[in-house]
């Protein structure tokens, strides 16, 4: 049994999607980052970097922060979604963590939430967003999923691509990404995990 501390962001959705895919029991706790819940002292005990998501494994008391680390832990603990080649999956997970996440996050900041305030930044991050989509499109040429089989590399990347409109990206320009995006969006676990923490528990933090 896991306690998931999360919000409706791409990083948060990675882990709720993974938990839904695994079919393991968990309770979701909303950490409203718009209200600075992430800076609460009790949350700091679980996530020293004040970032969502974080999990606590009730059986062991283990807590983990950082979405990539959580995905790796869950995949290896439950023996699922590491793909046919473990290191290849880790390679593409790190690509998401170092590229897709931070750079598309900056695209959101400047293109979606602060348009017109920093033209240089808008151009820089908009251009990098499209470059990263190009990398993904080439990787998916002839593949249904990033590492051949559905894996944590897909779960980590897909929630960021689901906000393509925020990044001012036309999915039609990247046909392999578009097909991959739709393929994953059709999964029942992805649809459920995407909406966490719509329904949250009232269990207090440990």
Q: Do residue 74 and residue 92 come from a single domain?
A: no
pLDDT at 206: 35
pLDDT at 149: 98
- Show the domain range for 129: 86-187
Residue 200 lies in a domain: no
| pLDDT exceeds 70 at position 97 | yes
122: domain CATH number is: 1.20.1050.10
Distance CA(43)–CA(40), nearest Å, equals: 5
| pLDDT exceeds 60 at position 94 | yes
Cβ contact 89:83 at 8 Å? yes
Q: Which of 135, 145, 151 lies closest to 98 in space, CA to CA? A: 135
Q: Do residue 41 and residue 130 come from a single domain?
A: no
pLDDT at 190: 97
Residue 203 lies in a domain: no
Q: Do residue 33 and residue 53 come from a single domain?
A: yes
Residue 172 lies in a domain: yes
pLDDT at 198: 74
Average predicted confidence (pLDDT) for the chain: 94
* Predicted confidence (pLDDT) per residue in 122-173, tens digit: 999 999 999 999 999 999 999 999 999 999 999 999 999 999 999 999 999 9
φ, ψ of residue 162 in degrees (nearest 5): -65, -10
Q: Which residue has the tokens 């097909």?
A: 179
* Predicted confidence (pLDDT) per residue in 53-63, tens digit: 999 999 999 99
Q: How confident is the model over 88-114, as a mean pLDDT?
A: 97
């Amino acid at each position: 049994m896991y306690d998931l501390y999360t919000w409706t962001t791409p990083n948060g959705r990675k882990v709720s999607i993974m938990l839904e895919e695994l079919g393991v029991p968990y309770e979701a706790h909303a950490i409203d980052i718009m209200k600075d819940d992430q800076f609460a002292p009790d949350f700091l005990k679980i996530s020293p970097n004040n970032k969502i998501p974080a999990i606590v494994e009730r059986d062991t008391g283990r807590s983990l922060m950082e979405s990539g680390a959580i995905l790796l832990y869950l995949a290896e603990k439950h023996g699922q979604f590491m793909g046919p080649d473990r290191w290849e999956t880790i390679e593409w997970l790190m690509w998401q963590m170092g590229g897709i996440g931070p750079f598309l996050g900056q695209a959101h900041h400047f293109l979606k939430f602060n348009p017109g305030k920093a033209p240089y930044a808008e151009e820089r991050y908009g251009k990098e967003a499209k470059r990263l989509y190009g990398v993904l499109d080439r990787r998916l040429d002839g593949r249904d999923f990033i590492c051949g089989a559905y894996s944590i590399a897909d779960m980590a990347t897909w929630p960021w691509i689901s906000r393509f409109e925020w990044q001012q990206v036309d999915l039609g320009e990247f046909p392999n990404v578009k097909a991959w995006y739709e393929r994953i969006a059709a999964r029942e676990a992805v649809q459920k995990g995407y909406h966490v923490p719509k329904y949250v528990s009232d269990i207090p933090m440990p």
